[in-house]
Structures are given as structure tokens and as C-alpha cells.
């Protein structure tokens, strides 16, 4: 009975709002420390207490991770699943472990600068503590395969227009369109809006044999297709993934609620069965006493 109570207390503590708020506060403090450390003069002047505060924060991260791992084991044990690696099936838990291990590495080594830079990974701990941010990041990761096809289509678009630009403008504008590589880089500048008007003006001035309308239509069609249509495709893919993840999250919440209700009903049935067995045993004893009389 005490083990069940202890289990519920640990799990309830990890799932509590207080625990998540404290975790979020530690992550924000860690990010502030990393930002302050970029001021070399201030960091050198206050190295001792900055280093101590950094060690305290990362130690608390390690303790938090151990508590969450312990709660995961106890929760799975309460459900009848005795697996100690279930905790690591969550990708974000693996990321948390990697971040903590990297931050716990000794800093007084020849690779101190690299290790200190890697501590920026702590920022990613913030994702695991904010459900909506976590949903967006998961949507981005899940949409990578679909984005791959959009990227392939975009590359074909760039390649086709780069070949056309090299053939039309390469002879008179060697710097921007003299080769396929130069054309690709110039078109990248155009689609990002980096002085594309100057590039257009330069092409018109150095290509008098080309109709000005043709040149303008070339650049406008490239920008419209490359920037607007493909941008909408990216947005559409991510929006679709977010909608699917939200639907999955809602299904998981409903399933969890059903399981909790089912568990409470099972507990109630078990309690009633125990009480009925006790009543039955008492009746048997009373009948035996009456028979003796």
C-alpha cells in the first residue's frame, strides 16, 4: 500500500504544474547565463560565481532528469509494464539526456571552447517544456519527407531558369550569369529579394538585343513561381502536419482518459470484491457459531 502511495506521489509531482514551472524557470536561467557569458569581460571578472551558478543549474537539470526517469519507471510498473528503457523511446527525453551529458563534461580541457559552445543545446530543453512549441517542432520534423519533394521541385525550377539565364544573359553579363553556378547564385539572390531590381536593370542595360518585356517577364515569372507558389506549398505541408499532430494528440488524450476511467472502475470492482469476500467469510463464521449452539 505504501509503495502505491509513493508511486502516485512521484508521478503526480512530475506531472504537476509546479514541476514544469520550475523546469521552465531553470531552462530560462540557463539561457540567460549562456547569453551573459558572451560578454567576455564580465565573465572573466565574475568567473567564480558564474561557473558555480552554471554547475548548480546543470546539477538541477540532472536531478530533474533522474526524477522524471524514476517517475516513468514507477508509472509503467503501476500499469504492469516493467521496462526500464521505455523512458528513452521518447525522442525529446533522449535529447534531454544528451544535453545534460554534454553540459556535465569537464570544462577544463583543451576543447573547453567547443564544449562551452555546445551548451547552447540547453535552449532545446525549452521545447520539451512548452507543449505548443513542441507541437510545431514535431510538425517541422515530421514534414521533412514531404518538404523533400517540394525542395526537389524547387531545385528543378531553379535549374531550368538558370540554364535559360546562362544562355540568354551569360554572354553580356559574365559576373552574374556567366556560368550555371553563377546563374544559380544570382537567382537565389533574386528570389530572396536581395537587390533583384539592380540585377534586372543590369541585364536590360547589357542586353540591348533582347526585348525588355521578355527580360521583365522572365524575372517576374521566376519570382512568382519560386517565391510565392513554393512558399505556399511549404506552408501547406507544415499546416497539414500540424493538423494531423493535433488530431493525434486529441486521440491520445481521449485514450488516456478512457484508460484512467477504466483503471478507476477496475479498482472499484476489486475493492467491492474484497468487501464481498470479507462479508461472505463473516457470514460463514456466524453460521458456524450458530450451528455449534
Cα separation, 292 vs 78, whole angstroms: 46
Domain extent for 156: 131-293
190-203 mean pLDDT:
82
The residue among 41 and 266 whose pLDDT is bigger is 41
Q: Which residues contact 217 (CB under 8 A, 6 or more apart)?
A: none
155-160 mean pLDDT:
89
Same-domain check for residues 87 and 148: no
> pLDDT-derived band of residue 3, with 50, 70 and 90 as boundaries?
very low
Domain count of the chain?
Answer: 2
Same-domain check for residues 160 and 287: yes
CATH code: domain of residue 79: 1.20.120.350
pLDDT digits (tens, 9 = 90+) for 24-70: 788 788 778 777 877 888 878 888 888 788 888 888 888 888 888 88
> pLDDT-derived band of residue 292, with 50, 70 and 90 as boundaries?
low
The answer, yes or no, to whether residue 133 has pLDDT greater than 60, is yes
Same-domain check for residues 145 and 193: yes
Cα separation, 87 vs 94, whole angstroms: 8
Long-range contacts of 196-204 (CB under 8 A, 24+ apart): 196/223, 202/173, 202/176, 203/169, 203/173, 203/176, 203/177
Same-domain check for residues 154 and 216: yes
Domain termination site, one of 101, 129, 157: 129
Residue 4, pLDDT score: 44
Cα separation, 73 vs 14, whole angstroms: 12
Long-range contacts of 127-133 (CB under 8 A, 24+ apart): 127/92, 128/92, 128/93, 128/95, 128/96, 129/20, 129/23, 129/24, 129/27, 130/24
The H or E element spanning position 115 is helix 112-118
> pLDDT-derived band of residue 163, with 50, 70 and 90 as boundaries?
very high
The answer, yes or no, to whether residue 285 has pLDDT greater than 60, is yes
184-196 mean pLDDT:
84
Could you tell me the pTM of the whole model? 0.52
Which cell is 64 given? Answer: 530533474
**CA-CA distances (angstroms) from residue 195 to 188, 235, 250?**
11, 25, 46
110-131 mean pLDDT:
58
Same-domain check for residues 64 and 193: no
Phi, psi of 46 (to 5 degrees): -115, 35
CATH code: domain of residue 140: 1.10.287.70
Percentage above 70 pLDDT, the chain: 78
Same-domain check for residues 78 and 158: no
The residue among 264 and 274 whose pLDDT is bigger is 274
The residue among 80 and 20 whose pLDDT is bigger is 20
DSSP string spanning 129-190?
H-HHHHHHHHHHHHTHHHHHHHHHHHHHHHHHHHHHHHHHHTTT-HHHHSSHHHHHHHHHHH
> pLDDT-derived band of residue 83, with 50, 70 and 90 as boundaries?
low
The answer, yes or no, to whether residue 111 has pLDDT greater than 70, is no
Cα separation, 81 vs 218, whole angstroms: 63
Q: Which residues contact 22 (CB under 8 A, 6 or more apart)?
A: 64
The answer, yes or no, to whether residue 109 has pLDDT greater than 60, is no
Helix (H, G, I), strand (E, B) or coil at 90: coil
Same-domain check for residues 110 and 171: no
Same-domain check for residues 123 and 175: no
Same-domain check for residues 124 and 185: no
14-18, 128-132, 192-196, 213-217, range with the lowest pLDDT = 128-132
30-39, 66-75, 129-138, 272-281, range with the lowest pLDDT = 129-138
Residue 1, pLDDT score: 44
Percentage above 90 pLDDT, the chain: 2
Q: How far is CA 71 from the centre of its chain?
A: 22
> pLDDT-derived band of residue 121, with 50, 70 and 90 as boundaries?
low
Same-domain check for residues 122 and 165: no
Same-domain check for residues 124 and 153: no
Half-sphere exposure of 25 (CA within 13 A, CB side): 7
6-26 mean pLDDT:
75
pLDDT digits (tens, 9 = 90+) for 225-263: 877 777 777 777 778 777 777 777 777 777 666 655 655
Same-domain check for residues 151 and 109: no
Other C-beta atoms closer than 10 Å to the C-beta of 137 total 15
On whether the CB atoms of residues 65 and 96 are closer than 8 A, the answer is: yes
The H or E element spanning position 202 is helix 196-206
Average pLDDT, the chain: 75
Which cell is 139 given? Answer: 510538425
Amino acid at each position: 500500500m505504501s509503495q502505491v502511495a509513493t508511486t502516485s506521489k512521484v508521478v503526480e509531482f512530475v506531472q504537476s504544474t509546479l514541476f514544469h514551472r520550475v523546469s521552465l524557470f531553470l531552462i530560462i536561467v540557463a539561457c540567460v547565463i549562456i547569453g551573459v557569458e558572451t560578454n567576455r569581460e564580465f565573465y572573466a571578472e565574475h568567473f567564480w560565481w558564474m561557473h558555480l551558478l552554471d554547475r548548480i543549474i546543470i546539477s538541477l537539470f540532472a536531478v530533474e532528469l533522474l526524477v522524471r526517469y524514476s517517475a516513468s519507471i514507477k508509472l509503467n510498473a503501476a500499469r504492469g509494464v516493467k521496462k526500464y528503457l521505455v523512458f528513452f523511446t521518447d525522442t525529446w527525453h533522449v535529447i534531454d539526456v544528451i544535453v545534460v551529458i554534454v553540459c556535465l563534461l569537464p570544462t577544463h580541457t583543451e576543447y573547453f571552447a567547443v564544449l562551452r559552445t555546445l551548451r547552447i543545446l540547453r535552449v532545446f530543453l525549452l521545447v520539451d517544456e512548452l507543449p505548443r512549441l513542441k507541437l510545431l517542432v514535431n510538425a517541422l520534423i515530421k514534414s521533412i519527407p514531404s518538404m523533400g519533394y517540394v525542395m526537389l521541385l524547387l531545385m528543378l525550377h531553379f535549374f531550368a531558369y538558370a540554364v535559360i539565364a546562362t544562355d540568354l544573359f551569360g554572354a553580356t553579363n559574365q559576373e552574374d550569369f556567366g556560368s550555371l553556378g553563377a546563374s544559380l547564385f544570382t537567382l537565389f539572390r533574386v528570389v530572396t529579394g536581395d537587390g533583384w531590381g539592380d540585377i534586372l536593370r543590369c541585364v536590360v542595360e547589357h542586353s540591348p538585343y533582347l526585348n525588355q518585356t521578355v527580360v521583365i517577364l522572365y524575372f517576374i515569372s521566376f519570382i512568382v513561381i519560386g517565391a510565392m507558389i513554393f512558399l505556399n506549398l511549404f506552408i501547406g505541408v507544415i499546416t497539414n502536419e500540424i493538423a494531423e499532430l493535433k488530431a493525434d494528440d486529441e486521440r491520445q488524450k481521449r485514450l488516456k482518459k478512457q484508460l484512467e476511467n477504466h483503471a478507476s472502475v477496475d479498482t472499484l470492482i476489486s475493492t467491492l470484491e474484497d468487501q464481498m469476500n470479507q462479508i461472505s467469510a463473516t457470514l460463514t463464521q456466524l453460521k458456524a457459531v450458530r450451528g455449534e449452539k
